[in-house]
């Protein structure tokens, strides 16, 4: 592994003032960082235990999910909370319809999927499934939701219009993270309780394959072109590359300790990987399957996001409460910014603060 220098160096300013929204789980806030000035421009209070954030399609709104059972709607550039939606006793995950008119989340304690109407910012429907649901995915056409049920070792399938259960299928032990194929025909699930993933055909809700991994999977990342699935294993500190068209393992690569998050460039040529166990970010050349470079960025990086121009990475470190700004070419550290308690997610919308 080739290690890049980890010291801060002078660089030309970022070409655009992208904003990084950092979800601080323990600080109950969103820190908004201007990546050009490398400063926090505001901190937005949200309900307790925020975990993830996503932009509503075709709108200047960011939805923040708190595991305490709330979804916050943050408007930008105003940087204000426009609404707080009460989901129930808990809330995990967020999936938008393609047109951004609806969004869906899980209430694991109640064992249900909750649908939110984004125009009225109110709960518009629910469907009860089973307690302790863990992950949620939606097909590209927005017609089908898939939810993992780790305690029941199965996947649930739900239609979005009308919102109703279609059925379920048994998979492996403790199914967790999900990845849906680009054409919406197949869903992959990480069977976190054993050393395999399962591939399920969505229209028929039947298992197509159980793919042996050699270690327990902890995360799934599908290449933007859809050709390959990258399976993260925190247990083995490896990535397993799966041919998503033929459901077979192509290669197993050793990576940094406890791989926790990954992001691809749009052309699928590079994958950036955060390793929570050793504090590194690694740039993997996907076609050659070789490590291009690696950089020590902190203590336990657990989430990362690329700027829309793909020249910089924002890396959230849960242990140090900081955000590292990293140049991608060459992989080098620009600066580290304290942002709050236990940053759990980071999101960068493709938006310029000053377009004049």
Tell me if 13 is assigned to some domain: no
In a domain, 255, yes or no: yes
* Residue 3, in any domain of the structure: no
Q: Which residue matches tokens 């200047």? A: 60
CA pair distance 112, 106, nearest whole angstrom: 6
- 354 domain residue, yes or no: no
This prediction has a pTM of 0.92
Residue 329 lies in a domain: yes
Cis amide prior to 176 (ω within 30 degrees): no
Across all residues in the chain, what is the average pLDDT? 92
Tokens of residue 342, six digits: 């236990």
What would the pLDDT profile of 196-215 be if each residue is shown by its tens digit? 999 999 999 999 999 999 99
Q: pLDDT exceeding 70 applies to what percent of the chain?
A: 94
Q: What CATH number did the domain enclosing 200 receive?
A: 2.130.10.10
| Residue 315 lies inside a defined structural domain of this protein | yes
At 277-307, the pLDDT tens digits run 999 999 999 999 999 999 999 999 999 999 9
The count of structural domains within the chain is: 1
Q: Domain range holding 202?
A: 19-347
């Amino acid at each position: 592994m080739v290690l890049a220098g980890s010291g801060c160096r002078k660089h030309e300013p970022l070409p655009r003032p992208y904003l990084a929204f950092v979800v601080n789980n323990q600080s109950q806030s969103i820190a908004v960082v201007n990546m050009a000035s490398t400063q926090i421009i505001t901190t937005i209070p949200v309900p307790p235990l925020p975990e993830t954030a996503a932009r509503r399609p075709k709108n200047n709104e960011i939805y923040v999910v708190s595991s305490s059972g709330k979804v916050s709607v943050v408007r930008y550039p105003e940087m204000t909370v426009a609404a707080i939606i009460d989901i129930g006793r808990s809330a995990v995950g967020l999936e938008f319809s393609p047109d951004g008119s609806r969004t869906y989340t899980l209430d694991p304690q109640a064992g249900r999927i909750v649908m939110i109407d984004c125009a009225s910012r109110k709960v518009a429907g629910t469907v009860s499934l089973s307690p302790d649901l863990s992950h949620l995915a939606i097909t590209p056409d927005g017609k089908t939701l898939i939810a993992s049920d780790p305690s029941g070792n199965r996947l649930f399938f739900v239609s979005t219009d009308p919102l109703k259960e279609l059925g379920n299928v048994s998979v492996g032990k403790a199914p967790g993270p999900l990845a849906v194929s680009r054409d919406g025909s197949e869903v992959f699930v990480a069977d976190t309780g054993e050393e395999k993933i399962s591939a399920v055909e969505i229209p028929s809700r039947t298992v197509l394959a159980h793919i042996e991994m050699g270690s327990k999977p902890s995360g799934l990342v599908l290449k933007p072109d859809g050709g390959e699935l990258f399976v993260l294993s925190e247990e083995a500190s490896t990535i397993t590359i799966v041919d998503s068209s033929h459901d077979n393992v192509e290669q197993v690569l050793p990576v940094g300790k406890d791989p926790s998050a990954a992001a691809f460039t749009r052309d699928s040529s590079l994958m950036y990987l955060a390793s929570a166990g050793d504090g590194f970010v690694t740039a993997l050349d996907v076609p050659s399957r070789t490590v291009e470079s690696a950089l020590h960025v902190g203590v336990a990086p657990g989430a990362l996001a690329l700027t829309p121009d793909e020249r910089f990475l924002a890396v959230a470190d849960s242990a140090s409460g900081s955000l590292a700004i990293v140049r991608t070419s060459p992989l080098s550290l620009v600066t580290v910014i304290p942002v709050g308690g236990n940053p759990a997610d980071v999101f960068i919308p493709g938006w310029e603060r000053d377009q004049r």
